[in-house]
Structure 1
Amino acid sequence: MEPSSGGTTAAARAAEVLLEFGRGSSGLGVSEIARSTGISKAVTHRILTTFVECGLLLYEPSTRRYLLGPAAATLGARALDVSPLRRAAREALVDLQRTTGETATVTGRLPGGRVYLDQVESTQEIKMTVELGRRFELYSGSSGRIILAHLSEAEQEDVLSRPLSRLTPATMIDPVALRAALQEARARGTCRSTGERQEGAASVAAPVFGADGTVVGSISVCGPSYRMTDEACDEYEGAVVEAAQRVSRVLGYRPTGAPVGESQ
């Protein structure tokens, strides 16, 4: 099928429907997916039926809702295993956790979102952990906002022009305030968050760049907010930046103007 003026194809519509299930919902109905994607109910139903037939989705007749199926779980696990960013970040995460004592994470960029690819958990009794493989928005939390801060202005506006959901009382959803926060994060090279995505949690993150210079993800340290104070974030910030730069180098990134043979 030739793409329309909006670039929509049968494959793109199918992908858009499937990606809805990465938002963490316990199940989705036809009407809910159609409303979210703007795809007609009839087309949405046909796509869902196809995914059920190949095992990517399961259908629950009692609730008339669809869930991710075993084939999707297999693909997700495989995607984590082969992710270049996940592999490149592993040693840096181990060292970052040892340095800070808190949980270290790596996040990968998705179209309009992000996903945690790996973590090295804190050894402390009370600690923060993240959900690997689940899609999160870019505007909330330090790991997402530092990625958003390094996207183009058009990409930022595409995110900020949409309705933004308040995940906690501290979630920043005002576009004006978010634009200012993005400018600050880009200038500083790091981003901090306290209770914006998850109450009681705090984090500091730095961007990871690919060989072509585009932002591909982020590295963060996260922990309970009573430990991740401003003073602690000041202390950990340098280690987070160093870890992110280390991963960027492994991925082949070299800043413009860096001497030949020097990656960062």
Structure 2
Amino acid sequence: MSRSATSSSAPASPAPPAEEGEGQSRSIAAVERAMDVLLLFGRSGRPDLGVTEIATELGLTKAAVHRILTALRSRELIAVDAVTRRYALGHAAIALGRAYLSRMDLRALAAPELRRLAQQLGETATLSIRRGDTRLYVDQAVPPHELRVEVSLGIPYPLHAGSSSKVILAYLDEAEVDGLLARHPLEALTERTIVDDERLRRDLAAIRKRGYASSQGERQEGTASIAAPVFDHDGRVIAALSVAGPLVRFKSRMAECAPPLVESAARVSGQLGHGG
């Protein structure tokens, strides 16, 4: 005599309505497009962007870009200039960036190298980062000499004057360099500042060839410096390490101090995931 078998497995869950699944897909796509817009601001290197530029670079319609920017503005992730109608990162986006940097502080990574350079070479070692169309010193290590160079932290300087500025400029994309030079005429900070576009471009090519920049009184009279680039994991230049001293003392030592400087910058880049 046979007995009927009964199944102990739970019944299958009903499939979600098609409309619900489609709605979720559209929501995810909208979030992805908004993230693409934010990431474009982060990697463009330009201080602001227009609707047409965003639409062209991301392959979106202007109407879609307007909707995304409106949503991002409502959360202060994006800000708009009322006169030019161009967009830039807002307060909330900057706060996110600061939160990231607080966990992965470039200054903390570079500090041991700055101390090593100052001790080994007997001159001031500095760390500079790019900020828009400028760069600024964010840290330094000074030697015990009575006659030495000390820099002011947090003050923006143009990207064409001085070794730290030029080494960042040298490793930007050509289009970024073209745009920057179009926006900012080359102004003289000292009598030695390069103010001719073609001469500056030749200098940038030479910097890329040898791997570091040099300056003799181009940003500040009476000083000399060399600088090497720091790259992130994507190979983008984000900072510069430099060694600087009084012109009368450091001028003759610049070439011999370049190799340890370049090696220090490469170690910092490696910690940021740059493979060389």
Alignment partner of 1:197 is 2:244: no
Say if 1:80 and 1:117, in contact at 8 Å, map to a contact too: no
Partner residue in 2 for 1:67: none
Question: Bigger shift: 181-190 or 114-123?
Answer: 114-123
Partner residue in 1 for 2:171: 150
Say if 1:206 and 1:219, in contact at 8 Å, map to a contact too: yes
Counterpart CA distance in 1 for 2:100 and 2:216 is: 30
Give structure 1 stretches of 5+ with no counterpart: 15-38, 44-50, 52-76, 256-264
Partner residue in 1 for 2:52: 5
**1:93-112 equivalence runs, <5 A:** 93-112=114-133
Counterpart CA distance in 1 for 2:157 and 2:187 is: 12
Counterpart CA distance in 1 for 2:100 and 2:138 is: 9
CA 1:232 to 1:78, structure 2 compared with 1: closer, same or farther past 3 Å? farther
> What is the CA distance between 1:13 and its match in structure 2?
4.3
**1:178-193 equivalence runs, <5 A:** 178-193=200-215
Partner residue in 2 for 1:207: 229
**1:122-161 equivalence runs, <5 A:** 122-161=143-182
Opposite residue 100 of structure 1, the aligned amino acid is L
Structure 1 residue aligned with 2:274, among 227, 240, 253?
Answer: 253
Opposite residue 5 of structure 1, the aligned amino acid is T
State, as a whole percentage, how many aligned pairs show the same letter.
39
3-state SS of the aligned residue for 2:248?
Answer: coil
Counterpart CA distance in 1 for 2:181 and 2:104 is: 28
**1:39-50 equivalence runs, <5 A:** 40=83
Say if 1:108 and 1:114, in contact at 8 Å, map to a contact too: yes
> What is the CA distance between 1:123 and its match in structure 2?
1.2
CA 1:120 to 1:175, structure 2 compared with 1: closer, same or farther past 3 Å? same
Instruction: Give the TM-score of the pair, scaled to structure 2.
Output: 0.65
CA 1:6 to 1:211, structure 2 compared with 1: closer, same or farther past 3 Å? closer
Say if 1:146 and 1:218, in contact at 8 Å, map to a contact too: yes
> What is the CA distance between 1:81 and its match in structure 2?
6.4
Q: What is the alpha-carbon root mean square deviation over aligned residues?
A: 3.0
3-state SS of the aligned residue for 1:226?
Answer: helix
Opposite residue 203 of structure 1, the aligned amino acid is S
> What is the CA distance between 1:80 and its match in structure 2?
8.4
Opposite residue 238 of structure 1, the aligned amino acid is P
Between structures 1 and 2, the one with greater helix share: 2
Partner residue in 2 for 1:85: 106
Say if 1:127 and 1:223, in contact at 8 Å, map to a contact too: yes
CA 1:173 to 1:154, structure 2 compared with 1: closer, same or farther past 3 Å? same
After superposition, give the CA deviation of every residue in 1:198-239 in whole Å (9 maximum; x if it has no partner): 11111001111111111111100001111111x300111111
> What is the CA distance between 1:136 and its match in structure 2?
1.3
CA 1:173 to 1:83, structure 2 compared with 1: closer, same or farther past 3 Å? farther
Question: Bigger shift: 152-161 or 5-14?
Answer: 5-14
Counterpart CA distance in 2 for 1:81 and 1:104 is: 22
Instruction: Give the TM-score of the pair, scaled to structure 1.
Output: 0.68
For the pair shown, the structure with the greater C-alpha radius of gyration is: 2
Opposite residue 236 of structure 2, the aligned amino acid is T
How many corresponding residue pairs?
A: 201
